[in-house]
Amino acid sequence: MDSIGIGLIGWGTVGCGVVRVLQENESIISNRLGMPLVIRRVADLDIETPRPVAVPREILTTDAEAVLRDPKIDIVVELIGGLEPARSFILEALESGKHVVTANKALLAQSGNELFEAARRFERTVAFEAAVAGGIPLIKSLREGLAGNRIDTIFGILNGTSNYILTRMTLAALPFSDALREAQQHGFAEADPTLDIEGIDTAHKLAIACAMGFGSRIQLDKVYTEGISRIDPLDVRFAEEFGYHLKLLAIGRQEQGRLEMRVHPTLIPSTHVLASVRGAYNAVHIRGNAAGSIMLYGLGAGMMPTGSAVVSDLIDLARDMFCRAPHRVPPLGFLPERLEWVPVKPMEDIVTRYYFRFSAMDRPGVLSKISGILGNNAISIAAVIQKGREVEGAVPIVMLTHEARERDVKRSLAEIDRLDVVKEPTRLIRIEDHESAEI
Amino acid sequence: MDSIGIGLIGWGTVGCGVVRVLQENESIISNRLGMPLVIRRVADLDIETPRPVAVPREILTTDAEAVLRDPKIDIVVELIGGLEPARSFILEALESGKHVVTANKALLAQSGNELFEAARRFERTVAFEAAVAGGIPLIKSLREGLAGNRIDTIFGILNGTSNYILTRMTLAALPFSDALREAQQHGFAEADPTLDIEGIDTAHKLAIACAMGFGSRIQLDKVYTEGISRIDPLDVRFAEEFGYHLKLLAIGRQEQGRLEMRVHPTLIPSTHVLASVRGAYNAVHIRGNAAGSIMLYGLGAGMMPTGSAVVSDLIDLARDMFCRAPHRVPPLGFLPERLEWVPVKPMEDIVTRYYFRFSAMDRPGVLSKISGILGNNAISIAAVIQKGREVEGAVPIVMLTHEARERDVKRSLAEIDRLDVVKEPTRLIRIEDHESAEI
């Protein structure tokens, strides 16, 4: 063996990143492996549009099968995204005896269990460092670096688009729609931003990270998912007055054999390290029972960071190939037969602190009515402020609670919103401050 | 094979951490490996003092040879620290066909090249995640997670003791000696704190990290090392007024085939993520040409975090053993024959920004004399403030420079300190703000 053959399927931004990293860092990679990683084929439906990197014309093809069937290709890199035909391509690559590297979080979150099972059957590996948190070596840290730990929590800002938007809403007091437009202009948000702003992309990543951290099968359908599109800058401002920052957080937690997996706008203390993660950066805070609090921080997307992650997987796989150990580390870090369907707490059972903003009429007795309902539902109030005076007959009353159960909160708010003194549906944002003390 | 045999040499704090992690997380580790990691022997000169963890009496020994010669021990964990006999024990373990895990940064910084060479000769591995940054998976990230990158800079807070002291000097305005005493009372500093406060421990870690990041042999003797024991809280305060935080930073940089390796008190912008790293925490900021800026953060020392790192190495080595690939990844991440003695810039050639505090007599013309000397040496001034009025015939003049060369700075300060209007040696602190913009 004097080189490792690589085939790319998908020659978009990330594909170009992979090519550039392999080209620019060729000598470094050779110094690590003793041989080069050589791109043998690049398949894309569009091979005509000019790209920021060049590959020899003769290795370009519009036919993915030309990659999948090439005997000189050892590792297939799937970068087309989406569910199909990505899934079929990966299965076919594994069946042909090739290893697979993918950045496809949507597919892994949806079909990872099936794909990993297939990889095992064919004694091949599916590697996916690029699928979660871009250039940050999060997957390797969860799978290997923290392997001696019982992981208790995984907290993260896993979507740069949402974080950019929330950062702009916070620092420049922009409304959501303006911040989104700005993100689109800067190339941080796509024309259809739904996956990013509705928390779906974050949920994909959380589902994968939780499986790895907690030794569970992947359970995307159990991730509670709420995006940022309905956030009012007013709430960002009020939260700041209480010493909180608003972030779209992915929260994974393991407690007494049950998982929490949820993605939603979250208030974290302004002094928390995650609060200072700005713009398109990602950060993940992991708590292990041995390592304690760990934070990993970096660029979660983009051509070069994602290319970096793909190439680190390629180097890993090349090393596995040298020692004929295709299964050295199982994809999720646990032996497949030991992975469980760890039960996931229904959202109604979550216990956390809450921020409420009521739009109530400025009349005597209103606060007493509201707090009465909360009290009857075992929700106790930590702080309350009434901001400003009446606008169109209503004033905002902002309240922070002590720990309460989501079920009780939902029941109370339904009742409160039916009061005739309440003019608009109450805004609710969950608070996380468990993890802040030790950081 | 139905278990992996572990032998510990050194049953102090970290040894107890390793035992506790293996005991508490036994089932998690088995679910990863399919078999347990079993402690077969524990050697320590003192096996009588009660420890916070229990092991069967019959596996305790005062004789390290009993570990090194036990055929049922596959991996020897060296945790006695210091140069000898640790070095001899490791060489003997390798020669007996055992893998080695060590947390001994002093030894690796000093003799790593020799030990890694021996490991290669005997086809065994020396693993050392615990040697740098405790529970943070920094070694794995440099060696594997970021393997596709040309690493350009490694910036870090790598010593929790110094960081605790500086944090207290900053937040509570304590003088150095009080902050040190407090650190000792809290168990963050040893009775003889020299290694920590004089930057030596940080230099050990930087030497190792730079070898891994930059593909160099380990060159401890080329690391410029300056500690924090002479820091005056006055400078901490003035720096804050200019928007800077004082940290003991390990700085590694690769530029045009030359390395910078230096450890010294450093001013970083208060908005830099590293500025918010408080107390006993460690953090490392790495810039790769593909991944961009990455930061890793966590506890750099302590029984459980260090135990976590040792156990992640044990799991890694067990996996190597299963696939009979003792050399899957070279210790420094590069093939040993490709490691170079990359030239290291002498400190005099460093170009950076500087903070000066002059103690000068409050007389007309003093500033003009000082700035004249600086100007003649190609040092240009970015900001200057004169604080307060005369105390014992002198006033502090605080100055920030633009980029200047260390050689010119040293020459100028020698000349300035000879002026009869200057009452005390000028204080110099280097500034780093290159890396802040993108964070």
**Does any CB of chain A come closer than 8 Å to the CB of residue B260?**
no
Which is higher by pLDDT, A208 or B387? A208
Per-residue confidence band for A394, with pLDDT thresholds at 50, 70 and 90: confident
**Does any CB of chain A come closer than 8 Å to the CB of residue B273?**
yes
- Name the phi and psi angles at B92, rounded to 5: -65, -40
> Which positions 301-330 of A are in contact with B (Cβ < 8 Å)?
302, 304-305, 307-312, 314-316, 319-320, 322-325, 327-329
Q: What CA–CA distance (Å, rounded) separates A66 from A191?
A: 32
Report chain A residues whose CB lies below 8 A from the CB of B314. Answer: 148
CB contact under 8 A, B25 and A149: yes
Report chain A residues whose CB lies below 8 A from the CB of B34. Answer: 335, 338
pLDDT of residue A391: 65
Sign of CA dihedral B371, B373, B375, B378: negative
> Which positions 16-55 of B are in contact with A (Cβ < 8 Å)?
17, 20-22, 24-25, 28-34
Taking CA atoms, what residue in B is nearest to A145? Answer: B137
- Does 1.10.10.10 match the CATH number of domain A4-133+303-338? no
Average pLDDT for B35-57: 96
Q: Which residues, 6 or more positions from A328, have their beta carbon under 8 angstroms from its beta carbon?
A: A320, B319, B320, B322, B323, B325, B328
The residue type of B125 is T
Name the residue among A140, A292, A439 with its Cβ closest to that of B305.
A292
Per-residue confidence band for A386, with pLDDT thresholds at 50, 70 and 90: confident
pLDDT of residue A436: 47
Has residue B432 got a pLDDT over 80? Answer: yes
CA distance A192 to chain B (A): 26
CB contact under 8 A, B308 and A291: yes
Mean pLDDT for all residues in chain B: 94
Site of tokens 């993890």: A435
**Does any CB of chain B come closer than 8 Å to the CB of residue A74?**
no
Q: CATH 3.40.50.720 spans which residues of chain A?
A: 4-133+303-338
Q: How many CB pairs under 8 A join A and B?
A: 236
CB contact under 8 A, A135 and B292: yes
Superfamily name with CATH number, domain A138-299: Dihydrodipicolinate Reductase; domain 2 (3.30.360.10)
For residues A43 and A62, the answer to whether their CB atoms sit within 8 Å is yes
Q: CATH 3.30.70.260 spans which residues of chain A?
A: 348-436
Per-residue confidence band for A434, with pLDDT thresholds at 50, 70 and 90: low
Per-residue confidence band for A220, with pLDDT thresholds at 50, 70 and 90: very high
**Does any CB of chain A come closer than 8 Å to the CB of residue B137?**
yes
Q: Which residues, 6 or more positions from A281, have their beta carbon under 8 angstroms from its beta carbon?
A: A157, A160, A163, A297, A298, A299, A300, B439
pLDDT of residue B364: 84
- For A6-24, the pLDDT digits (tens) are 999 999 999 999 999 999 9
Taking CA atoms, what residue in B is nearest to A150? Answer: B25
For residues B188 and B251, the answer to whether their CB atoms sit within 8 Å is no
pLDDT of residue A437: 40
- Does 3.40.50.2300 match the CATH number of domain B350-436? no
ipTM of predicted complex: 0.94
Q: Hey, of A22, A101, A144, A277, which one would you mutate to test binding to chain B, going by the most B CBs within 10 A of its CB?
A: A144
Q: What CA–CA distance (Å, rounded) separates B62 from B24?
A: 25
Superfamily name with CATH number, domain B4-135+303-338: NAD(P)-binding Rossmann-like Domain (3.40.50.720)
Q: Which residues pair with A252 in a beta bridge?
A: A154, A261
The number of residues making up chain B comes to 439
Which is higher by pLDDT, A328 or B437? A328
Average pLDDT for B161-188: 94
Binding residues of A for NADPH: 105
- For A223-275, the pLDDT digits (tens) are 999 999 999 999 999 999 999 999 999 999 999 999 999 999 999 999 888 88
Average pLDDT for B208-219: 98
CA distance A154 to chain B (A): 14
CB contact under 8 A, B273 and A322: no
Q: Which residues, 6 or more positions from B52, have their beta carbon under 8 angstroms from its beta carbon?
A: B16, B20, B303
Sign of CA dihedral A342, A344, A350, A356: positive
Mean pLDDT for all residues in chain A: 94
Radius of gyration of chain A measured on its C-alpha atoms? 24
Please give the share of chain B, as a percent, with pLDDT higher than 90. Answer: 88
Q: CATH 3.30.70.260 spans which residues of chain B?
A: 350-436
Q: CATH 3.30.360.10 spans which residues of chain B?
A: 138-299
Per-residue confidence band for B438, with pLDDT thresholds at 50, 70 and 90: very low
Q: Report DSSP state, residue B145.
A: I
Q: What CA–CA distance (Å, rounded) separates A261 from A124?
A: 29
Tokens of A376: 């009857």
Per-residue confidence band for A363, with pLDDT thresholds at 50, 70 and 90: confident
Report chain A residues whose CB lies below 8 A from the CB of B317. Answer: none
Has residue B341 got a pLDDT over 80? Answer: yes
pLDDT of residue B437: 40
For residues B304 and B20, the answer to whether their CB atoms sit within 8 Å is yes
Average pLDDT for A348-357: 97
CB contact under 8 A, B28 and A146: no
Q: CATH 3.40.50.720 spans which residues of chain B?
A: 4-135+303-338
For residues B146 and A137, the answer to whether their CB atoms sit within 8 Å is yes
Average pLDDT for B388-401: 82
Report chain B residues whose CB lies below 8 A from the CB of A306. Answer: none
Binding residues of A for NADP(+): 9-16
Q: Active site includes B345? A: no
- Name the phi and psi angles at A344, rounded to 5: -110, 130
Has residue A438 got a pLDDT over 60? Answer: no
Taking CA atoms, what residue in B is nearest to A140? Answer: B145
Taking CA atoms, what residue in B is nearest to A298? Answer: B294
The catalytic position among B72, B98, B140, B205 is: B205
Site of tokens 């979080």: A105
For residues A383 and A357, the answer to whether their CB atoms sit within 8 Å is no
Burial class (CB in 10 A: 0-12, 13-18, 19+), A72: exposed
Q: What CA–CA distance (Å, rounded) separates B193 from B202?
A: 13
pLDDT of residue B435: 56
> Which positions 215-244 of A are in contact with B (Cβ < 8 Å)?
215
Per-residue confidence band for A439, with pLDDT thresholds at 50, 70 and 90: very low
pLDDT of residue B389: 66
- Does 3.30.70.260 match the CATH number of domain A348-436? yes
Buried b (16+ CB within 10 A) or exposed e, A379-414: bebeeeeeeeeeeeebbbbbbbbeebbbebbebbbe
Q: What CA–CA distance (Å, rounded) separates B408 from B384?
A: 19
Q: What CA–CA distance (Å, rounded) separates B170 from B233?
A: 7
